[in-house]
Amino acid sequence: MIREAERGRAGLWLPVCLGFGTALYFALTVEPPFWLGFALAGPVGLGCWFARSWPGALVPLFAVAAMATGFAAAQLATHRAPPLEPLPARAMFVEGTVRAIEFLPDGAQRVILAQPRLNPDTPPLRRDLRIRLRADDPARAEVGMVLRVRALLRPPGLPAYPGAWDLQRDAFFTRMAGGGRALNPAEILAPAPPAGLSGWLEVTRAAIARRFTIGMGGAAGAVSATLFTGLTAAIPLADRAAFRDSGLAHLLAVAGLHIGIVMGLFFGLTRLLLTCSEHAALHWPCKQIAAGVAVLAGGLYMLLTGMHVPIMRSFAMACLFTLAVIAGRRAFTIRGLGLAAIVILLLAPHEITGVSFQMSFSAVLALIAGYAVLRPALTRLRGEGGLWGSLRVHAAMLALTSLLAGVASAPYGAYHFGHVQAYFVLSNLLAVPLTAMWVMPWGLVAIALMPIGLEFLALWPMAFGTEAILWIARATTALPASTIAIPAMPFWGLITFSLGLGWLCIWRARWRLLGIAAMALGLASPWLAHPADIFVSADARLVGVRAGRDIFVQAGAGATPFTLDAWVQHWAGDVEDRRLPAAVPGVLGCDGPLCRLGPAGQVLLLRQGESVPPEACAGALLVIAVEPLRKPCPDIGFIDRFTVWREGAHAVWIYPDHVRVLSDRRDRGWRPWVEIPPRRRPELPPAMTE
């Protein structure tokens, strides 16, 4: 009975195994030989062919072949990316061609320069630079222009703590060398038009975004521009936080909802126009033609919004839907989702580490599996049909969609952002219909009217809907306990939850319920893990000490709020003071420039000076200093400004008889996207490190 119920379901684990192999590659701390993945995938795949009539051996061979393929795809993506190109950490003139433009809330522009030159006598960089122009810059950048600007450059930032989000890895796979801030007005060297399809698309995106932003103004214009171009930089930070905390961030991450609306409108309009002709209605395959037009519209929408992971996944499934419509088959299946995942994992394997990929696929997987189980209940709810029956089913499906997608994707949001939204079902019940039935249709009409300059006719009613969505996001965020802080989920907890979700949604028999236990273990993992007790930032300007939910911080001049925010999010706590107090029982005690951290004072923190008094070394296991140390305690590990300069941020766990120290360099290892320090310092004692 079980075998019959699960017939054909084992193949659905292909994208899971593929993703596991990809994740394994990114979890390594040493770059493997380039041939390793291919050397495993080929022979094992050949073994699958010979073992196809032996199920007992075929399944494990199939899983290993899929994992090896994912591993090899990640290796190939890394090999194809240009190597890191160091940037001078100083102000200098930069010259390059504007590839893309982002509009910021203060009216300034941020440009992406392709093939930038740092020196006229040197070849251009193979990576791009993102430069923020001055808000009062009289030159308005256009895609295709050649600009020359004096800017303060900086490479991608280091993780805020070991295990934090890796900005350098993101920049490596997106071909970014780093960023900078313009110090002088930009000089236009050549107003050259953009070349190729990509240049035309960037010009079109920038023009549409500018029309929406100018036509509406304020946050409403920025949100409307995001819905049709995917450019989010112009949204004020407060409103972006409101969307995030209300559970409406998916409205700004252009994905399945948006492309579904666009394709649905084009499908319905095309079919209506075709049926207006008697000859076409009787002799042409109107449904199939309308589906083809919808796919073309969806493809153009995907190009205009930047081809990021959610929209690529949605468009891949839309193409499968079209094929199913043409063939007269069932459209929405878990196989379509799996095929979309395989395509993305093979073409852009680094996306598996991103929150967009994880939340997008988990939400759709839960929707497909959930509606397959709940379909009989929805049929009973409809009853005999009619208006009231349709309204009941529509309201139930709207609530179920928000609930299923929100519950499935919430752990991934908690893993990356440190909190979950309490009222996401309520906010989505109000905002999603408004987006689908009012804002998006009027936006499409506005784009259609832009060539003749009459878009204001559609932007005026569209603005009412966008302002209403903004009000919903702000009002939901203002409710008591709108967000719940969650301690950082360990990586093993995320993997456990993901495997449990896949087990629950892929299988059909009762044994699928075992996935609930795995999901519960993954959800409980934040409270089973022991978070770090001390963080030291990558510039030693910040030292954070955790005491339950209370966070005590020693902040020096120039400390970045981004790092502190990341610590607060990781610890799910509250910052009590930006200067360490004199004493906190069982946590710290300070006497002048020297503090003892830990229940027994095992860690010394030197806030000023360059040496530790000899009498203070007794009982100490580790010394932390905000300045370079000249005379640390003998035979005791230390962390000072030179240490973090070479090895990045540090995390410290305090135990009764020892301390555990983990640096960012040791956590990430020596990978192609990790910036190599100028010189490695001597290793800490083996008992002190991991």
Tell me the CATH number at 183. Answer: 2.40.50
Structural domain total, the chain: 4
Does pLDDT of 684 surpass 60? no
Does pLDDT of 432 surpass 80? yes
Are 557 and 645 in the same domain?
Answer: yes
Are 55 and 13 in the same domain?
Answer: yes
Q: Is residue 146 helix, strand or coil?
A: strand
CA distance 170 to 351: 9
Instruction: Give the model confidence (pLDDT) of 605-643 as tens digits.
Output: 888 777 788 778 888 889 888 888 876 777 788 898 888
515-522 long-range contacts, Cβ below 8 Å, gap at least 24? 521/493, 521/496, 521/497, 522/411, 522/489, 522/493, 522/494, 522/495, 522/496, 522/497, 522/498
Angle at CA 567, nearest 5°, toward 428 and 553? 135
Q: Which of 22, 47, 80 is the last residue of a domain?
A: 80
Residues 227-250: what's their mean pLDDT? 89
Q: Which of 500, 528, 556 is the last residue of a domain?
A: 528
Does pLDDT of 679 surpass 50? no
Are 53 and 168 in the same domain?
Answer: no
Instruction: Give the model confidence (pLDDT) of 316-358 as tens digits.
Output: 777 777 777 776 666 557 888 888 889 889 988 998 998 888 9
What is the β-pairing status of strands 146-154 and 187-190?
antiparallel
Residues 70-83: what's their mean pLDDT? 94
Are 17 and 155 in the same domain?
Answer: no
554 part of a folded domain: yes
Are 151 and 17 in the same domain?
Answer: no
CA 394 to chain centroid, in Å, comes to 31
State percent of the chain over pLDDT 70. 92
CA 182 to chain centroid, in Å, comes to 27
Does pLDDT of 249 surpass 70? yes
CA distance 685 to 633: 13
Does pLDDT of 1 surpass 60? no
Are 53 and 170 in the same domain?
Answer: no
Whose CA is closest to 498, among 525, 514, 524, 519?
A: 519
Sheet holding 650-654, edge to edge: 574-577, 550-555, 542-547, 534-536, 650-654, 659-663
Does pLDDT of 450 surpass 90? yes
Q: Which of 469, 499, 528 is the last residue of a domain?
A: 528
Residues 511-516: what's their mean pLDDT? 91
Q: What is the per-residue pLDDT for 474?
A: 94
592 part of a folded domain: yes
Are 53 and 174 in the same domain?
Answer: no
Sheet holding 588-591, edge to edge: 583-584, 588-591, 594-597, 603-606, 622-625, 637-639
CA distance 224 to 209: 8
Count Cβ atoms within 10 A of the Cβ of residue 247 and give its class: 0-12 exposed, 13-18 middle, 19 or more buried.
Answer: buried
Residues 151-160: what's their mean pLDDT? 90
Across the chain, what does the average pLDDT equal?
A: 85
Q: How confident is the model at residue 51 (pLDDT cuts 50, 70, 90)?
A: low
Does pLDDT of 683 surpass 70? no
Q: What is the per-residue pLDDT for 685?
A: 36
4 part of a folded domain: no
Neighbouring residues of 137: CB distance < 8 A, sequence distance ≥ 6: 108, 109, 182, 185, 186
Per the CB < 8 A criterion, the answer to whether 279 and 458 are in contact is: no
Q: What is the per-residue pLDDT for 148?
A: 92
397 part of a folded domain: no
Are 558 and 507 in the same domain?
Answer: no
Beta strands in 104-222 (DSSP E): 109-117, 128-132, 146-154, 176-182, 187-190
Residues, the chain, total? 690
402 part of a folded domain: no
234 part of a folded domain: no
Does pLDDT of 58 surpass 70? no
Are 610 and 672 in the same domain?
Answer: yes
548 part of a folded domain: yes
Domain interval for residue 566: 534-688
Are 588 and 643 in the same domain?
Answer: yes
Q: How confident is the model at residue 659 (pLDDT cuts 50, 70, 90)?
A: very high
Q: How confident is the model at residue 366 (pLDDT cuts 50, 70, 90)?
A: very high
Q: What is the per-residue pLDDT for 475?
A: 94
346 part of a folded domain: no
Are 183 and 54 in the same domain?
Answer: no
Does pLDDT of 265 surpass 60? yes
Are 502 and 553 in the same domain?
Answer: no
In the DSSP assignment, the letter for residue 157 is: P
Instruction: Give the model confidence (pLDDT) of 206-231 as tens digits.
Output: 889 989 998 898 899 999 999 999 88
Instruction: Give the model confidence (pLDDT) of 162-194 as tens digits.
Output: 999 999 999 999 999 999 999 999 998 888 676
CA distance 456 to 462: 9
Q: What is the per-residue pLDDT for 680?
A: 43
